[in-house]
Amino acid sequence: MKVKMNRREFIKKSSSAVVGAGIALNSSINIDAEPAKSRVVEVMHSGAVKNKRIVDAQAVKEMIRIGIETLTDSKNPWKQFIKPEDRVGLKINTLGRPMLYTHHELIKAVAEELLDIGVKEKNIIIWDRFEGHMKNSNFTFNNTGIGIQCYGTNSREKRVKRSDMNVFYESSFDDPGKRDNNGTISPFSKIFTQDCDKIINMAILKDHMLSGVTLCLKNLAYGVCNNNYRFHGKEHIGPFISEFCAMPQIKEKVVLHIIDGLEACFDKGPVPSSPNVLYAPKTLWLGTDPVALDAVGFQVIDAKRKDESLPPLSQTGRPVDHIKLAAQKGVGTDDLSKIKIDRIKLS
């Protein structure tokens, strides 16, 4: 499948998208009816984090189980997202290594849930863009086809290339000086297009020096494709993230989003160099609308910044515009009045 459209064509096509990630267009839908609120489940456990990087695995497992049941209103929640025969990719975030990355305990908890519904070990793939980042986050690689798989798009072995040149995002609204050999093409990862049937997006709660925050949307845009350094400009980053996440391949394959807020970063992200900018909310957020999740996470980070006597992100020269732009393109909703938040406190 070859996907190619310029920025103008893409904006025109995406403007007609249905609000809400994962909702299929159906002729029986009454477009005049008031849309249902996007739902975010927030689960906090007071005992989830004992100390820096010391996490209670059992508490995290409980958080995931209760969170997904609440989100789906079901005691068999995973069947709404995953079939036993699916190959499931867990798209983690390891950019903040060595201090902050998707917690192993959270990844294990999700993997165990998938195994419980019949997904085979070899069909669970833990992945990120750079294997170097994964190595520095203490992940053990495995692409043998036996057991849970773990590898990255950009391999440590130069001969291994995992970019799919037939599926890509294309835009010339970038910094030409930062393009790689692919020019205006940003190819998708083969892990996303070929190795996985479904993706669970496992982002981190943290700020970002350019985009303001790096949550669900950014974890996909900068983690699923290559040749995206060219969008590292204040005027380019928001349009890129929002347009990429509005692509049909993303909306169709990514079935669930989780923000790992067990530990988080409120300043000088996305690669914190000091533990002084880290804190432990001891919280997970789950949902199917990445825009809604990012809107909530944005508020959480700004609230923490206020507690630390730091200015809000909007006053730091960081645009934080990708969330609203994604909402305008039909990826989800950023209107907090239209987001239903279920808050659960465990002890």
Residue 210 to residues 58, 168, 304, Cα–Cα distance (Å): 36, 23, 19
**Residue indicated by tokens 């002084």:** 276
pLDDT of res. 122: 98
Residue with the two structure tokens 């203490």: 138
Residue length, the chain? 347
Residue 139 contacts residue 152 (beta carbons within 8 Å): no
**pLDDT tens, N- to C-terminus, the chain (347 residues):** 334 433 333 333 333 333 333 323 233 333 334 456 799 999 999 999 998 779 999 999 999 999 999 999 999 999 999 999 999 999 999 999 999 999 999 999 999 999 999 999 999 999 999 999 999 999 999 999 999 999 999 998 876 789 999 999 999 999 999 999 999 999 999 999 999 999 999 999 999 999 999 999 999 999 999 999 999 999 999 999 999 999 999 999 999 999 999 999 999 999 999 999 999 999 999 999 999 999 999 999 999 999 999 999 999 998 899 999 999 999 999 999 999 999 999 98
Instruction: Assign 3-state DSSP to the chain and report helix, strand, coil percentages, each to 5.
Output: 35, 25, 40
Classify residue 193 by its DSSP letter: I
Q: Where are the domains of the chain?
A: 7-13+38-196+205-274+287-346
Cα gap 101→92, rounded to integer Å:
8
pLDDT, position 14? 35
